[in-house]
Structure formats: structure tokens, C-alpha cells
Amino acid sequence: MSENSNFPGWHGTTIVGVRKNGKVVIAGDGQVSLGNTVIKGSARKVRRISPGGHDVVCGFAGSTADAFTLLERLEAKLEASPGQLARASVELAKDWRTDKYLKNLEAMLIVTDGKDLFIITGAGDVLEPENDIAAVGSGGNFALAAARALMDSDRDAEAIARRALEIAAEICVFTNGNMIVESIDA
């Protein structure tokens, strides 16, 4: 993390991705916090991009402007390598870690094309999560634990992601229940 990692806006948001029965869902809350103050309660932190006609669903935690910059870069990588999310994610992570400008960006991404599910970080990581669940943000661990507990239930991916985010919102003061949910089939 950069020297600005103590900036009060760094912590906030919960994003969870769940893959189950051929479907991947990414859900995110809508709260934007600056320190202990809620600035906005209905931000859209989960988005669908379609570079080269291939749908990819992305969720982000951290600085919104930084995340948008990273999403634009990911979209460009996907246009250069259509349908190759793993390759584009690795290329983005390499750039993010080594580029003088990008390495100061403070955000984390969860991305999926329905087949792959990755967490991308500024440390150069492209992680394929265990147990088909990915979570980032201040309430990420709460959502991760809740989703893991629900995976053996009869609930589908969307129901698990929604309930996991609801549970995180009940625990984490930087997470609210205003959800944006996007799904994609394998």
C-alpha cells in the first residue's frame, strides 16, 4: 500500500462474488464513507463491461476514481485479448504493480466472465478464490464467512451473495444494504 493508505476514505464497501451451478454473481453495497461519515448510500460498485462483445462483471472496493481507472485499463486489456480474462487480469496486475502512476491506486477488484472468478490487487496478485467465493472490502471477511456457510444450502448463487451481503451490512459499519447485483452464466 502507498503512504496514503491511512487516508480515511480507504476503508469501506463490501463486494462478494459467488459461483454455484454454472452461474457467477457479484454483489456490492452502495455505501461511500469518508472516515466515519456516510457520504452516499447508493453508489454503483458493481458493473458490467463488454469489451469485444464478451461480458465481464466487475466489482470494486477502495477509491472510486482509482477503481474506474483500473476498470478502464482492464477493458483495454480485454479488447487486446478478447475472451481471455485470465490473461487480461495478469497483464493489469503487472502494470498495476510496476507502473509509476498505477502503483499508487488504492482499490481491489473482483472480476468474472462466468467461467473464471478472480480477485485482482495492486500487489500484483490475481487470485482464484477457494470455495468459489471471493470477497473484498471492509466487510469482505464477514460476507466471505456468511457465503461459505450458505454454499451447502439449496440457495442459488444470487441468493447466497445477497444474504452474505445482508449479513455483512449488519456487522460492518462501512457497509449498507443498498445492493447492486450482477450475474453471468458460464
Note the residue count of the chain: 186
- What is the residue-wise DSSP string for 124-173? S-EE--GGGEEEEETTHHHHHHHHHHHTTSS--HHHHHHHHHHHHHHH-T
Residue 2 lies in a domain: no
- pLDDT class of 11 with cuts at 50, 70, 90: low
What pLDDT score was predicted for residue 53?
Answer: 85
The answer to whether the CB of 30 falls within 8 A of the CB of 41 is yes
Which of the following is catalytic: 13, 14, 64, 175?
Answer: 13
Count of structural domains, the chain: 1
Question: What is the rounded CA–CA span in Å between residue 49 and residue 112?
Answer: 10
Query: Coil, strand or helix: which one is 6?
Result: helix
Domain hosting residue 19, numbered range: 7-185
Region of poorest pLDDT, from 61-70, 131-140, 176-185: 61-70
Give pLDDT tens digits for 41-94: 999 999 999 988 899 999 999 888 899 999 999 999 999 999 999 999 999 999
β-sheet bridge partners, residue 186: none
Average the pLDDT over 3-22 and give the result: 72
Residue 1 lies in a domain: no
112 catalytic residue (yes or no): no
More confident residue, 184 or 2: 184
Give pLDDT tens digits for 108-122: 999 999 999 999 998
Neighbour-count burial for 175-185, b at 16+ CB within 10 Å, e otherwise? bbebbbbbbbe
3-state secondary structure 48-107: EECHHHCCEEEEEEECHHHHHHHHHHHHHHHHHCCCCHHHHHHHHHHHHHHCCCHHHCCE
Residue 145 lies in a domain: yes
CATH number at residue 135: 3.60.20.10
Give the list of residues 6+ apart from residue 124 with CB closer than 8 angstroms, or none: 93, 94, 96, 97
Average the pLDDT over 170-180 and give the result: 94
